[in-house]
Chains A and B, each alone.
Chain A
Amino acid sequence: MTATTSAPPSRPQVLARTAREKTPMTKKRREALAAYAFLAPDVLGLLIFVAVPMVLAFGVAFFKVDGFGNYQYVGLANYKLMGSDDQLWASLKITGIYVVAFVPIAFVVSFALAMLVRNHFKGIGWVRSAFFLPNVVSLVVVGLIWQFLLVDKRGAISNLLAPLGLGDVSFLGTPSLALGTYVVISVWFLMGYQMLVFLAGLKDVPKELEDAAEIDGASAWQRFRYVIWPLLRPTSFFIVVNSTIGAVTGLQAFDLVYVLTKGGPARATSTVVLYIYEQAFTFNNMGYAAALTTVVVGILVLCTGLMFAFTRGGRFDED
């Protein structure tokens, strides 16, 4: 075979080739078009109900909004006000404590459950369903169920604790206990969902690696520490980020508090999201509430960004 050299293609040749190349692209384009069409309802929904309101909220933060359609441009006044707003800082502190308590506890409990139901045994479907069950119930209903269980003196939990001399404890009516009670209820509610995510992660851990480690004499703990745990890092990262965001702005930070204690007793459960709600709908300070929202979003973006940076997106030391 001899090498042949050819002259550069002329312009008509290029156009002809481009036309020929376009023919197989048509199908791809059609597929892409179909994909976009399928995505469109979701994208449109997210744009209208999430992205656009989010952008508008950033805009509203620069206005004094009285709740009756009147807007007055105030520049950064809403942000300056935050410095002297004691209740805001108290609410941020409460949310911070809630996050610091809830995220690790929910992580450990759901991970333990995932390990517990990882291997097949008789009735595993039922057990997994039972753990997941709280998550399918509306959080408002969850709140009402726990309100019923935690009734002072007469609730099921008071009856259980009565032999220990604790039948008189009011879990939702005592400031020092109320936030901890929310942590327990939130963990109970979300553990099933997080367990499923961990189970999915565990499925991706190759059995061969565990077997090889076992043959090499690794103990159960060593197999967990050096095989399972490192391979689960991306899943763990997802859980931590997801539950942190959920703990600050999720349903459990508002719905549950709103249903059970409305921020009481004595402001002990006044989370920052509830405080923003109060500012918007009790005080009609919608501009200030919008400004608070942007700050909370900023804090969350910063925290999530730091988590991504320190863990390389959950992959830690991977290349």
Chain B
Amino acid sequence: MSATPFPARQVSRRSVLRGGLGALAASAVAGPLLTACGGDDAGGGNGKEMSFWNFYGPADDNGPQSKWFVSLAEQWNANNDVKVKLRYIPGKDYLSGTTLQTAFQSGQGPDIFLISPGDFLRYYNGGVLQDLSSALPAESKADYLPGLLEARSVDGKIYGLPMEIEPLAMYYSEAAFEKAGLSEADLPKTWDQTLAVAQKLTGDKRNGVMFETLPGYYQNFTWYPFLWQGDGTPIKDGKVAFDSPAAVQALKFWQDTIKNKVAPRKALGDGGGDVVSNLGSGAVAMQQSGIWAVSDLRTKAKNFKYGIIPHPTPDGGKPATDLGGWAFVANSKGKNPEAAAKFITWALGSTDAEGIERQRQWNTVVKTNVPPRKSVQQAADAKGAFAEGALKKFVSEIAPTGKPEPRFPPEVYQPIADAIQACQLNGADPGKAAADAAQKIDTFLKTYQGAPIT
């Protein structure tokens, strides 16, 4: 028996090359095998089955929103040859992960998927959005509230159907106001009042007011209303307009909340939109969030007493909110884009009783949104969905002051995000931050060749 069972062996250059080639050959064989292991959940489909990637269902919790999606697919599949197969992707991965991007890069994108306004141009300019116009009856088109389809259109063609409208407002805790000896009469209407009231509400364990602090699309989305209140906009008539008094004052307002130590530098839970973890826990007394928080509070903090007010305005400013909301879109490079377009227009645009009821369920029963279609709003009104409380205020007072969420591409979004972060959390000069951002946006616009941004 050898003393060294595995004697050292000289590795020649040839053997290395031979081994390398063998391994490459093996990887070439393994590649397709691994792809095949991906299962039939991968995008692309076979023409008779359409994959629908979303962040609602079928989820493990089998909650109402998941059930709505599952039921939607079942209803379609019962009457159509080309079936829909749902694939659930957890929200965080869908919103800021890599699943969708890597799928599209490798030509394996889903046939149908959800898209936010912030991502619209990225996908449109990438040439993967299917024109839905021909599949959408004129009656459905006319049923949508003004501006919503236009925000998802290019050259008059519609590329996405909105499933909801999600306006933003300020939520406040009744208990926190009472504890600070404040009443409804003290609810702030202006930025100065907000800072003053927040000061009174701030204590050792509580901040008076809260805006999103984490950088990202969501933070920009929540900041735009304050820009619009002073009649500002990042881009006007295709040219940069960000270096404006409106942008400077909006940047300064958020900065003042931190400077005055009345707002947290970091939100709890899932961030600025998470009302249950922040306002509901007592960590803040006023918080900006969206209409979705009504259903969140309803299910997770039933006994919590709160109210909502429109965004406070600057002196001489006008009320404004941002109308967020996701849309269904079809992949033009999928196996069956026409069927995908038909599915989307059936799911969200049907004007028959069943279609209206499906939309009413989504917007006012399993979720709280402002319905994007007039007929659905009427049906919801008839059921008393907006008869009282926060939802009434959202629909009658706040949403009418809103603009659809801008569809800025990342090259526009990022300089604005940097300006917000630098001013809010790093004490940067708002004037300089706005000018820096404007310069970057201007540089981008000079070479931009995609669809119109505004």
Partner of A152, one of B2, B27, B264: B264
Distance A174 CA – B214 CA, assembled complex (angstroms): 12
Tell me the residues in window 49-98 of chain A with beta carbons closer than 8 Å to chain B beta carbons.
Answer: 52, 65-70
Chain B residue with the shortest CB-CB distance to A162: B204
Distance A99 CA – B345 CA, assembled complex (angstroms): 53
Distance A280 CA – B98 CA, assembled complex (angstroms): 9
| A28–B7 touching, CB < 8 Å | yes
Partner of B30, one of A44, A154, A265, A268: A44
Contact with A along B11-25 (1 / 0, CB 8 A): 000000000000110
Is A134 interfacial (CB-CB < 8 Å)? no
When distances are taken between beta carbons in the complex, the residues of chain B under 8 Å from A28 are: 2, 7
Partner of A67, one of B2, B104, B213, B422: B104
Please classify the interface of chain A as helix (H, G, I), strand (E, B), loop, or mixed, using the class held by over half of its residues: loop
Chain B residue with the shortest CB-CB distance to A270: B215
Is B5 interfacial (CB-CB < 8 Å)? yes
Partner of A69, one of B97, B106, B216: B106
| B27–A47 touching, CB < 8 Å | yes
When distances are taken between beta carbons in the complex, the residues of chain A under 8 Å from B96 are: 262, 281
| B105–A69 touching, CB < 8 Å | yes
Partner of A32, one of B9, B34, B268, B418: B9
When distances are taken between beta carbons in the complex, the residues of chain B under 8 Å from A261 are: 214, 266
| B24–A262 touching, CB < 8 Å | no
When distances are taken between beta carbons in the complex, the residues of chain B under 8 Å from A65 are: 105
Tell me the residues in window 207-244 of chain B with beta carbons closer than 8 Å to chain A beta carbons.
Answer: 207, 213-216
Chain B residue with the shortest CB-CB distance to A168: B261
Chain A residue with the shortest CB-CB distance to B9: A32
Known: A65-B105, A68-B127, A284-B122. Is A262-B216 also a contact (CB below 8 A)? Answer: yes
| B23–A264 touching, CB < 8 Å | no
| B264–A170 touching, CB < 8 Å | yes
Tell me the residues in window 279-309 of chain A with beta carbons closer than 8 Å to chain B beta carbons.
Answer: 280-284, 286
Known: A262-B215, A267-B418. Is A68-B265 also a contact (CB below 8 A)? Answer: no
Chain A residue with the shortest CB-CB distance to B411: A283
Is B403 interfacial (CB-CB < 8 Å)? no
| A167–B204 touching, CB < 8 Å | yes
| A173–B104 touching, CB < 8 Å | no
Distance A291 CA – B214 CA, assembled complex (angstroms): 28
Distance A66 CA – B122 CA, assembled complex (angstroms): 9
B104 to chain A, nearest CB (A): 5
| A265–B421 touching, CB < 8 Å | yes
When distances are taken between beta carbons in the complex, the residues of chain A under 8 Å from B216 are: 262
Partner of B266, one of A66, A172, A280: A172
A50 to chain B, nearest CB (A): 11
| B428–A264 touching, CB < 8 Å | no
Contact with B along A239-272 (1 / 0, CB 8 A): 0000000000000000000000111111110000
Is B126 interfacial (CB-CB < 8 Å)? yes
Distance A265 CA – B424 CA, assembled complex (angstroms): 9
When distances are taken between beta carbons in the complex, the residues of chain A under 8 Å from B392 are: none
A97 to chain B, nearest CB (A): 16
Most-contacted residue by chain B among A69, A170, A264 (CB, 10 A): A264
Distance A65 CA – B126 CA, assembled complex (angstroms): 11
Is B151 interfacial (CB-CB < 8 Å)? no
When distances are taken between beta carbons in the complex, the residues of chain B under 8 Å from A265 are: 213, 215, 265-266, 421, 425-426
Distance A131 CA – B433 CA, assembled complex (angstroms): 45
Tell me the residues in window 159-177 of chain A with beta carbons closer than 8 Å to chain B beta carbons.
Answer: 162, 167-168, 170, 172-175
Chain A residue with the shortest CB-CB distance to B413: A282
Is B283 interfacial (CB-CB < 8 Å)? yes
Is A233 interfacial (CB-CB < 8 Å)? no
Distance A284 CA – B119 CA, assembled complex (angstroms): 11
User: Can you name 20 A-B pairs with beta carbons within 8 Å?
Assistant: A44-B27, A47-B27, A48-B27, A48-B34, A52-B27, A68-B333, A69-B105, A69-B106, A150-B266, A151-B268, A153-B283, A154-B283, A170-B266, A262-B216, A264-B214, A266-B424, A281-B96, A281-B101, A284-B101, A284-B126
Interface residues, chain B, with chain A CB atoms under 8 Å away: 2, 5-7, 9, 23-24, 26-27, 30-31, 34, 96-98, 101, 104-107, 122, 126-128, 204-207, 213-216, 261, 264-266, 268, 283, 333, 410-411, 414, 418, 421-422, 424-426, 428
